[in-house]
Chains A and B, each alone.
Chain A
Amino acid sequence: MWKCLNNPNNEIRDVVIVTVPWTDSSMPLMAPAVLRPVVEKTGHSCLAIDLNVEIYHWTRHHADQQDLIRFFFDEYISTKTGPILHQMLLSIAQGIVSWQPKYVGLSLFSYVCQHSAKWIAYYIKKLNPDIKILVGGPGCLATFTGPSEYINNMLNQKLFDYHIRGDAEHSLYELLTGNVTFHGINSLKWKELDQDELRALPMPNYSDYDFEIYDKKALPIIGSRGCVRQCKFCDYIANWKKFQWRTAADIFNEMLHQSELYNINTFKFQDSLTNGNQKEFRRLIELLAEHNINNPGNQFTWSGYYIFRDITASSESDWELIHASGATTLMVGIENINEHIRFDIGKKFTNESIDFHFEQAKKYNILLAILNIVGYVNEVEADIDAIKQWLRDHVQYKDILLLQWGATLGIFPNTYLSEHKEELGIKMIGNQPSLWVNEGTGSNPALRARWAKEIQTLSKELGYAVTENLDNHFILETLIND
């Protein structure tokens, strides 16, 4: 039933790695391709496939699409979809088991993958209880740093044998070579890749992917881990504590190699920062610009996360190069239009610099997806008024801006804000990250929701493009090839 699992010659693979549905994406999810070379390095054979995209298309074209999607989100079934979903799960499991694997790796990109991962594991174990099920990916944990009631339940239920936390390059290798007590295996403590290890990683192997199925002809790529900033609200840096980067030459070689293999010239950086290391970034855009000039019929385009800095002598030429390198969309976390709030967060670039970068992006027609946080811990009504005025004063940039105002500030575990609540006057009033009050300023969830709504409404009235989706990578993906 699933083309990616077809096994007409009854071949055998020691390890089968699949992306499990539901991830609302029609571009390749890269985890299986990244992990396949790791598996092969251990001497095991591997099938690495993006099952999610097939289920995504099947669901999207199904007459009962809405009810089927409800299963992935809420585990809902109706009398009509129950048998359909049973058949879907059974055929996935039968397809996987037909490869006679010793291990099956389930990659969970988002929390919406949890229900299907549970049932796929159940069906596989029912068909062959000897198969070991490994799971990993950000969808396993409710927050970047865990813990996860879901994973604990699945391990206790023996549906999953191993949960791998964080990047799996180390731990999967260790697990497959017999060291099941290595960092990150059934443990929240994990070992990040260091600089040398990140640079020594083999290129992702997409041989088992069928690129014809994707609506977005783009290849994901990772150029760095971590971030150069220490923003007070951010839990990403609690997971990847140190900024690690690949060299420009290394990244460029991967782009060239993958482009030749798969005839795809559009790349989406999956990391959190393309220009964390300015020297390497400048070199990369030089290499890409040179490639694009020399290959007019085969030019590369790319999109990714980008950080604004204060204006320097080279800022203008940097933008010229960014344009020549094929950048189409840059996602920029400005976080707050108010300079004093932005500085307090830890992003110390001026409003004058923002204006400069906007002007340059407009000049080169590069789309900027701007991420904002409404209701920072010290934000008051006057700051909201200032944002509204800023919006009125900057409508000349509306054609190159996509604004995301977010779901107001959430205070996540292991962040600076979470660890300094008392001194900041913050009191949590519930279990959700957004449920906090600042008694000193009167900030509360209802007030912040009103602020966000007012800003969003005004943005739309002024003609800005506004996205209400909260998944930043999803937003970036929707802009590719459009």
Chain B
Amino acid sequence: MTNFNKCNIKFKFEFGSIEQRSMNITAMCNNKCYTVDKSGVIEFGIVLPTTIILNVSGKNYNTDTIVDADGNILQDIFVKIDSITIDNFPLNKLFLHQRITLSTDTDQNITSSYFGFNGTAAIELKENTVFAQLLSMNS
């Protein structure tokens, strides 16, 4: 019997670096930790419903954001989610930009796919089929 609650989730990240320093990101799901491969991708199998925790770390706020005399950011290190797919179905831009909230180590909640702070973001997948999960995330 095929389980329509089993699927693959794939995150593609873009990293901004300064002098080869960049942030780290890992994904935790069901007590397993997944790390980024060379192409900036984390991919693993999940069983719905579940929660995925993205852990963003490695940024030194004193050295990893370079600003000019007026406070304008000249260089920054960051992690950005380029795309998330579930069984190759892309989640739309609305989800990426408005549904992911990073709880930072500076006690802020920032809703964005651009992570410029260390922290964690929980992605809750509450549905029990891929069909329902995707359509609820994309609407």
| Residues in chain A within 8 A of chain B (CB atoms) | 75-77, 82-83, 85-86, 89-90, 119, 122-123, 126-127, 157-159
Contacts and interface: CB of A to CB of B under 8 A. Distances in A.
Contact of A86 (B2, B132, B136): B132
Contacts of B129: 82, 86
| Residue with the greatest number of chain A CB neighbours at <10 A, chosen from B87, B135, B139 | B135
B4 interface: yes
A115 to B, nearest CB: 9
Contacts of B135: 75-77, 82
Given A77-B135, A119-B131, A159-B88, 17 more contacts: A77-B132, A77-B139, A82-B136, A85-B131, A86-B4, A86-B129, A86-B131, A86-B132, A89-B131, A90-B4, A122-B87, A123-B4, A126-B2, A126-B4, A127-B2, A157-B88, A158-B88
17 contacts: A75-B135, A75-B139, A76-B139, A77-B135, A77-B136, A77-B139, A82-B131, A82-B132, A82-B135, A86-B131, A89-B131, A119-B131, A122-B87, A122-B89, A122-B130, A126-B4, A159-B88
A157 B87 CA distance: 9
Interface string B100-139: 0000000000000000000000000001011110011011
Contacts of B136: 77, 82
| Residue with the greatest number of chain B CB neighbours at <10 A, chosen from A76, A90, A122, A158 | A122
Contacts of B131: 77, 82, 85-86, 89, 119, 122
Nearest to B88: A157
A200 B86 CA distance: 46
A78 to B, nearest CB: 10
A326 B129 CA distance: 53
A396 to B, nearest CB: 52
A119 B130 CA distance: 10
B13 to A, nearest CB: 20
Given A126-B2, A127-B2, A83 B139 contact: no
Contacts, number: 37
A158 B139 CA distance: 23
Contacts of B127: 82
Interface of B: 2, 4, 87-89, 127, 129-132, 135-136, 138-139
Contacts of A157: 88-89
Contacts of B87: 122
| Residue with the greatest number of chain A CB neighbours at <10 A, chosen from B87, B89, B131 | B131
A117 to B, nearest CB: 14
A96 to B, nearest CB: 14
A157 B86 CA distance: 11
Nearest to B3: A126
A155 to B, nearest CB: 12
A457 B49 CA distance: 54
A69 to B, nearest CB: 15
A330 B107 CA distance: 72
Contacts of B130: 122
Contacts of B4: 86, 90, 123, 126
A75 B87 CA distance: 17
Nearest to B129: A86
Contacts of B138: 75
Contacts of A119: 131
Contacts of A89: 131
A85 B127 CA distance: 14
| Residue with the greatest number of chain B CB neighbours at <10 A, chosen from A76, A82, A89 | A82
A123 B89 CA distance: 13
A328 to B, nearest CB: 43
A82 B132 CA distance: 6
Contacts of B132: 77, 82-83, 86
B133 to A, nearest CB: 10
Contacts of A126: 2, 4
A86 B5 CA distance: 11
A159 to B, nearest CB: 8
B81 to A, nearest CB: 19
B9 to A, nearest CB: 15
A123 B131 CA distance: 9
A325 to B, nearest CB: 50
A85 B4 CA distance: 13
B118 to A, nearest CB: 34
B91 to A, nearest CB: 13
A321 to B, nearest CB: 55
Question: Which 5 A-B pairs have CB atoms at the shortest separation, nearest pair first?
Answer: A82-B132, A157-B88, A77-B135, A86-B129, A86-B131
Nearest to B89: A157
Contacts of A77: 131-132, 135-136, 139
A158 B88 CA distance: 9
Nearest to B138: A75
Contacts of B88: 157-159
A371 B2 CA distance: 50
Nearest to B85: A157
A158 B8 CA distance: 14
Contacts of A90: 4
A159 B85 CA distance: 14
A83 B2 CA distance: 16
